[in-house]
Amino acid sequence: MNTTSEVDLTARNQVPPSEADRQALEATWRDPAGLVGWFSAINHKTIGVRFIVTAFGFFVAGGLLAAVMRLQLARPQNTLVGPDLYNQLFTMHGTTMMFLFAVPVMQAMATYLVPLMVGARSIAFPRMNAFAYWLYLFGGLMLYIAFALNIGPDAGWFTYVPLAGPDFSPGKRVDFWAQLITFTEFSGLLEAVIVITTVFKLRAVGMTLNRIPLFVWAMLVTAFMVMFAMPAVMLTSTALILDRLVGTHFFNPAEGGDALLWQHLFWFFGHPEVYFIFLPGLGFMSAIIPTFVRRPIFGYSAMVLALIATAFLSFGLWVHHMFATNLPELGKGFFTAMSLMIAIPSAVQIFCWIATLWTGRIHLKTPLLFVLAFFFILVLGGMTGLMLAMVPLDLQVHDTYFVVAHLHYVLIGGAVFPLLGAIYYWYPKITGRLMNETMGRWNFWLFFIGFNTAFFPMHLLGMKGMPRRVYTYPAGMGWDTMNLVATVGAVTIAVSMLLFVINVWRSLRHGQVAGDNPWGAGTLEWATSSPPPAANFDALPVVHGREPLWEAAPEPTQVRGMATGQREVLVTTVVDARPDHRSVFPDSSIWPFISAVATTVLFVGSIFTPWAVVWASVPVAIALTVWFWPRRGETEREMLLEKSP
C-alpha cells in the first residue's frame, strides 16, 4: 500500500482494463445509430442531456412569457396585451417554470450525474427513464401547442376552484393545464423511483451512506419528497378533470363539495414542491463549494441531517399559503411556528458553507461565482419568507408583489443561480470542453444585477399595495417608477440569458479542451474521461472515502470480473454498499418511446372525451406488453453469464 496520495491516485488511474475490454464495453452500452436508434436511446447520459436541453428550452420559453408581462407592466394602463392574453401569460409562465423547468431540470441533472457520482454503469430502470423523458416532453409540447392555438390555460398555475371549475372556465383551457399535471407528475414520480433505486442499489462498492456526495443526498431526499407530495396534486387535478369532464362535484359548494379542499390538496403538494426545487440547489452548492475552496465540506453529517429535516418540515407548512382563508387561530399558530422552524436546517447549511469558505483556499471561477450569489439572494429571500410565515404580516403582503419578489428570490437564488453554476461546473464533463470564462463572468454579473433590479423593487411595490396577477394598474398609485425599473431589470436578465445560451453553443466547438478533471474535484464523476464513455467507467471504482479523488486509497481500487459483452451492473447493499449481486440491464429499445406516444394519445384524448380513457388504453397496453416481452436470445445470454462469469 502506498502512503502518499500522489502515487496512489496515479496508481489507480493507471490500472486500466485492456483496450479490447474498453471497446467491448463501449459497443455494449452505446445507443444504436440511425433514426430509429435515436428514438431507442436509453443511456442515462443521452437521456440526461436531452432532458436538460428540453428543460432549458422551456425555461427560455417561460422567460420570454415573463418578458412580455414585464413590458405590459412597464407603464400604467398599458395596452400591449389585454387581460385574456395576460392571464394566459402568467399562468403559462408559472406552470412552465414550476412543472416544466424547475422540477424536471433537477431530475434531469440527476439523470445525468447521479450514476456517475455514485460510480455506476447506468441509472436504474434505464428504459423507464427514457419513457419518463418522452412523457415530459410530450406534456410540455401539448401545453405550448394549446397556448399557440389561444386555448392556453388562464386560471393561474395554482388553478383555484371555482374559478377553474366548469362554471367559470368553460372551454378546454383549464383541461390542458390539468392534463399537463398528469404528464409531468407521472414523469416526476417515475424519475423519483429511478433516483431512489440508483442511489440505494447501484452505488460503487465502499460508498457507504456516509460517503455519498451531498448532491446525491439532496436528490435522494428530493425523490422521496416527490413520492409523498406529488400524489396529492395528481389526486386533486384528477378531481378537477372529473368535475369538468363528467360532472362530479368535488369542488362545487352548491352540491356539497368544497372550494377550499382544492387549496389544501394543492398546497400539500405545492409547498414541498418549493423544497424539491430548492434541495437540489443546495446539493449543487455542496458539490461546487468544496472543489473551489479546496477542502471537503465542513459538517457533512449536519448537512445531510439538515436536508432530511427540511424535507420533513416542508410537509407541515402548506397552510401558510392560505392564511387569508379564515382559519382557526390555533391552526395559524402551528403553521407559523413550522414555517419559522424550517429556517433552522437552512441556517445549518448556510453556516456550514461559510465555515467551509472561512477555512479554505479559494479558486474563484464562474461556477463558484454563481453559487456564491446564493448568499445574497437566497438569504434575502429566506428573510422575507420569515415575514410571510407570520400571519398578521402575511395578511398584508399575501398575493401582492411582495410575494412575487420573495418567491423569485428564493427560487432563482436558491435554484437557478446554483443550477447555472452547476452547468458551468459540469459542462466540461458532459461535453469535454470548458465554457468561456470571460463570457461566464459577464453572464453572471448581468444576471445578478438584472435580477436584483427586477425583483428588489417588488418588495416595496407589494407593501405599497400592488396586488399580483393584475394585467394593468392605474397611474398615480406610486407604482409607476418601480414597475419601470423592474422591467429594465427583466430586460437585463434576458440579455444575460442570451449570453449564457451563446456561451453554451460556442463552447461546444471552441471551448478549451477540459481533460478528465479540470477543476481538481474530489468526487467520482471526475475520475472518468470527459465526456464519459457509454459505460461511464472502464472499470467500476471501489470507494474508500468521502472524496475518493482527494484521499489516499488502499487497494482494491476497482472491481474486476464484470461482463463486458452484456449490460451488467453490480448491485450493492443499501447501507454499506457491499457487493450484493450482478444484474443485467435491458438493451436499447424504441418501445418506451412508442409507449409514451400511446400514453400521450390517451391523456390528450381524455381532454375531449372520457371514452379516450377506455379505447386509448388498448394501444398503451399493447406497447407496454411488447416493451416487457422477454427476448429469447437475451435470456439465453443471461443464463450463460450466470454459469460462467
- Classify residue 360 by its DSSP letter: S
Q: Please report, as a single letter, which amino acid is at residue 643.
A: K
Which of 400/588 has CB closer to another protein? 400
In the complex, what is the shortest distance from the CB of residue 169 to another protein, in angstroms, rounded to a whole number?
8
Instruction: Work out whether 21 is an interface residue with another protein (CB under 8 A).
Output: no
Angle at 277 between CA 392 and CA 307, to 5 degrees: 85
| Of residues 383 and 501, the one with the C-beta less far from another protein | 383
How far is residue 527's CA from residue 521's CA, in Å, rounded to a whole number? 9
Which is closer to another protein, CB of 132 or CB of 549?
Answer: 549
Considering beta carbons, is residue 53 or 470 the nearer one to another protein? 470
Q: Is 501 in the site for another protein (CB under 8 A)?
A: no
**CA 508, CA 436: separation in Å to the nearest integer?**
10
Smallest separation, CB 6 to another protein (Å): 8
CA 340 to chain centre: 25
CA dist 508 and 124 (Å) reads 29
Q: Which range, of 54-62, 120-128, 269-277, 462-470, touches another protein by CB under 8 A? A: 462-470
DSSP state of 4: S
In DSSP terms, 433 is beta-bridged to 513
Give the one residue of 20, 35, 246, 254 binding another protein; rule: CB under 8 A.
254
Helix axes 259-293, 214-245, angle to 10 degrees: 160
Number of residues forming the site for another protein (CB under 8 A): 101
264 interacts with another protein by CB under 8 A? no
Q: Does 298 bind another protein (CB under 8 A)?
A: yes
**Binder among 37, 465, 554, 565 for another protein (CB under 8 A):** 465
Position 229 contacts another protein (CB under 8 A)? no
Measure the CA–CA gap between 544 and 401, rounded to whole angstroms.
Answer: 51
Contact call for residue 386 and another protein (CB under 8 A): yes
Q: Is 17 in the site for another protein (CB under 8 A)?
A: no
Work out whether 481 is an interface residue with another protein (CB under 8 A).
yes
Contact between 110 and another protein (CB under 8 A)?
A: no
Identify any residues that bridge with 579 across adjacent strands, giving them in sequence order.
Answer: 572
> C-beta of 362: minimal distance to another protein in Å?
5
Among 60, 68, 193, 387, binds another protein (CB under 8 A): 387
Using the contact rule CB under 8 A, the part of the chain among 265-273, 373-381, 492-500, 590-598 near another protein is 373-381
Q: Which of 92, 180, 285, 389 binds another protein (CB under 8 A)?
A: 389
Q: How far is the CB of 77 from another protein (least distance, A)?
A: 10
Piece of 50-58, 228-236, 360-368, 573-581 that binds another protein (CB under 8 A) = 360-368
SS3 1: coil
Pairwise CA distance, residues 109 & 120, whole Å = 16
Enumerate long-range contacts of 499-505, CB under 8 Å, 24 or more apart: 499/439, 499/442, 499/443, 499/446, 500/420, 500/443, 500/447, 501/60, 502/439, 503/435, 503/436, 503/439, 503/440, 503/443, 504/423, 504/427, 504/435
Determine, following the binding rule CB under 8 A, whether residue 56 of this chain makes contact with another protein. Answer: no
- Choose which of 11, 60, 209, 340 interacts with another protein (CB under 8 A): 340
Neighbours of 202 (CB within 10 A): 24
Minimum CB–partner distance for residue 288 and another protein (Å) = 13
CB atoms within 10 A of CB 189: 17
**Residue 244 binds another protein (CB under 8 A):** no
Asked, as a colleague might, if the bond just before 272 is cis with ω within 30 of 0, I would say: no
Residue 362 touching another protein (CB under 8 A): yes
Separation of alpha carbons 89 and 610, rounded Å? 28
Binding segment for another protein (CB under 8 A), chosen from 217-225, 339-347, 414-422, 634-642, is 339-347
Annotate 87-150 with DSSP letters as a single string: HHHHHHHHHIIIIIIIHHHHHHHHHHHHHHHHT-SS-SSHHHHHHHHHHHHHHHHHHHHHHHTT
Rounded alpha-carbon distances, angstroms, from residue 127 to 39, 182, 304, 317 = 11, 20, 30, 36
Strand partners, 205: 542
Query: Cβ closer to another protein: 361 or 509?
Result: 361
- Provide the grid cell at 507: 463552447
Q: CB 180 → another protein: shortest distance, Å?
A: 19
Query: To the nearest whole angstrom, how small is the minimum distance from the Cβ of residue 114 to another protein?
Result: 22
Amino acid present at 528? T
How far is Cα 190 from Cα 136, in angstroms, rounded to an integer?
11
Residue with cell 436509453: 42
Cβ closest to another protein, residue 37 vs residue 82:
82
**C-alpha gyration radius of the chain:** 25
Q: Cell numbers of 460, please?
A: 416595496
Residue 265 is a binding residue for another protein (CB under 8 A): no
Residue type at position 249 = H
Least distance from C-beta 72 to another protein, angstroms? Answer: 11
Binding flag, residue 360, another protein (CB under 8 A): yes
Of 211 and 271, CB closest to another protein: 211
What is the H or E stretch that residue 579 is in? Answer: strand 579-584
How far apart CA 91 and CA 151 sit, in angstroms, is 12
Asked if 74 is part of the footprint of another protein (rule: CB under 8 A), the reply reads no
Which residues inside 541-580 make contact with another protein, applying CB under 8 A?
A: 545-547, 550-551
DSSP 8-class letter at 570? E
Is residue 581 at the binding interface for another protein, with CB under 8 A as the rule?
A: no
Which position among 97, 105, 190, 380 is part of the footprint of another protein (CB under 8 A)? 380
347 contacts another protein (rule: CB under 8 A):
yes
**Using rule CB under 8 A, residue 331 touches another protein:** no
For position 628 contacting another protein by CB under 8 A, the verdict is no
Residue 151 touches another protein, criterion: CB under 8 A: no
**CB of 155 or CB of 194, closer to another protein:** 155
The only residue of 17, 32, 57, 299 in contact with another protein, by rule CB under 8 A: 299
**Beta bridge partner(s), residue 558:** 541
Residue 414 Cβ vs another protein, minimum distance, rounded to whole Å = 15
Q: Is 467 in the site for another protein (CB under 8 A)?
A: yes
Task: Note the residue count of the chain.
Answer: 645
Query: Where in 80-99 is the site for another protein (CB under 8 A)?
Result: 82-84, 87
Q: Which of residues 165-194 bind another protein (CB under 8 A)?
A: 167-168
Regarding 439 and contact with another protein (CB under 8 A), the answer is: no
The closest alpha carbon to 444, from 468, 417, 475, 484, belongs to 417
x-or-dash string of contact with another protein, 397-436, rule CB under 8 A: xxxx------------------------------------
CB of 503 vs another protein, minimal distance in Å? 20
305 binds another protein (CB under 8 A): no
